[in-house]
Amino acid sequence: MQTTIGKPARIAGIGLHTGCHVSVELKPAPVDTGIVFRRVDLQGFEIEAVRRHVSRVVLATTLMKKGVMLSTVEHILSALFGSGIDNLYIDVDSLELPILDGSALPYIQMLQEAGIEEQDKERTFLRVVKEAQLQDGEKWIRIQPYPAFRVSYLINFAHPLIGSQSFDLQVTPSSYAKEVSFARTFGFYSEVEQLLKKGLIRGGSPENAVVLTEDGILNDGLRAPDEFVRHKTLDLIGDLSLCGYPILGRITAHKAGHSLHTDMATLLARNSTISRKVKESELASRRKAAAG
C-alpha cells in the first residue's frame, strides 16, 4: 500500500552551497500525490520531485520549475525513497535544502518521529524488464531485471583513505536506515578555494562533510571505513527516486555521479521497453502463482 507520514515534522539548518539558514517541514499528503516540494517563501510554489524538473547536477541535484529553483534535494529524496515513502509535502523556505550533518540520517530520524502510515491505495512499481546501460567515458550505470530493489556501487579515488571501494545492498527501509543513511558527503580541502570562488560550498565545514586533506581528513573520524562509497550509494538512491515510482531491479554504478544517476531515472521513467509499471496486487498474484 502507498504510504505517507503520521504527523508533521520540522528541522532547520544551513544550505551547503548558499550558506543560508533554511527550515524544512514534512507534512502528510493524500494518495497519488508523490513527493512535492513547496517553496513557502514563494507563496507555496510547488515543485514535483520528478526527472523533468532536474536542471543542474553539478555537485548536487537541483530542480527547477518555471524559473523557481530548489537545490541539494538528493539527501532528503534518498531518505524518503529508501524508507518507502510515496506521498509527502516538503515545505522549504529557501532555495536549498539544509545539509544538516551531510548525511540522510537526520531525515530518517524525522520520519521515525513522524511515523509512517499506510494509505488506502496500492502502490505502483517500475519493474525493470530489460538490461540497459548508460556510459560517459569510464563512468557507467546499468540496470537489470531483479525481483527487489538492489543497488551496487564502485568508486575509485587516488586518496589513501578511499582508493577502490565497492558496496552492494538490497534496499529495504531497515537496510537503508542501518547501512546507508549515516554516510556523509565528502570533498577535498585542496578544492575548497576554487569552489568558493564559484559561489559554492559557502556553508560547508567538517560539521557537515568529510573533508579530505592530502593524506587524511579534517574530521575526528569516519563513520565507516567505506563511508565514501556508501554516500555515493545514498546519492544514487535519491537521484533514482526522480523516476517517480519505487523500483524493482538491480542498479550497478561505476564511478558515476548525479548526471548519470538522473539520466537513468529518465530512462526508467520514459522507456517502456526497459521498465514497465506494475501494480502491487499483480506482483502478489505472480508470486502466489509461482509458489504454487
CATH 1.10.10.10 fits 3-118, yes or no: no
N- to C-terminal Cα distance for the chain? 24
Question: What pLDDT does 197 receive?
Answer: 65
The answer, yes or no, to whether residue 288 has pLDDT greater than 80, is: no
16: pLDDT confidence band, cut at 50, 70 and 90?
A: confident
- Residues with catalytic roles: 258
Top-level class of domain 124-291: alpha beta
Residue 219: which residues within 8 A CB-CB, separation 6 or more?
Answer: 206, 210, 211
Question: What pLDDT does 214 receive?
Answer: 85
For residues 187 and 192, give the distance between their C-alpha atoms in angstroms, rounded to a whole number: 8
Helices (H), the chain: 74-82, 105-114, 173-179, 192-197, 227-240, 258-270, 280-291
DSSP bridge partners of 142: 133, 252
For residues 217 and 213, give the distance between their C-alpha atoms in angstroms, rounded to a whole number: 5
Domain positions in the chain = 3-118, 124-291
Closest C-alpha to 167, from 151, 146, 185: 151
19: pLDDT confidence band, cut at 50, 70 and 90?
A: confident
Q: Give the whole-number percent of the chain exceeding pLDDT 70.
A: 95
For residues 207 and 147, give the distance between their C-alpha atoms in angstroms, rounded to a whole number: 39
For all residues of the chain together, what is the average pLDDT?
92
Please write the tens of the pLDDT for every residue from 66-101.
999 999 999 999 999 999 999 999 999 999 999 999
Question: What pLDDT does 27 receive?
Answer: 98
pTM greater than the 0.85 cutoff: yes
Question: What pLDDT does 202 receive?
Answer: 66
The answer, yes or no, to whether residue 158 has pLDDT greater than 70, is: yes
Residue 201: which residues within 8 A CB-CB, separation 6 or more?
Answer: 16, 17, 59, 187, 192, 195
The answer, yes or no, to whether residue 162 has pLDDT greater than 80, is: yes
Using the structure block, give the residue that is written with the C-alpha cell 558496496: 167
Please write the tens of the pLDDT for every residue from 225-247.
999 999 999 999 999 999 999 99
What type of residue sits at position 23? S
Please write the tens of the pLDDT for every residue from 173-225.
999 999 999 999 998 878 766 766 666 666 677 888 898 888 888 888 999 99
Could you tell me the three cell numbers for 268? 526508467
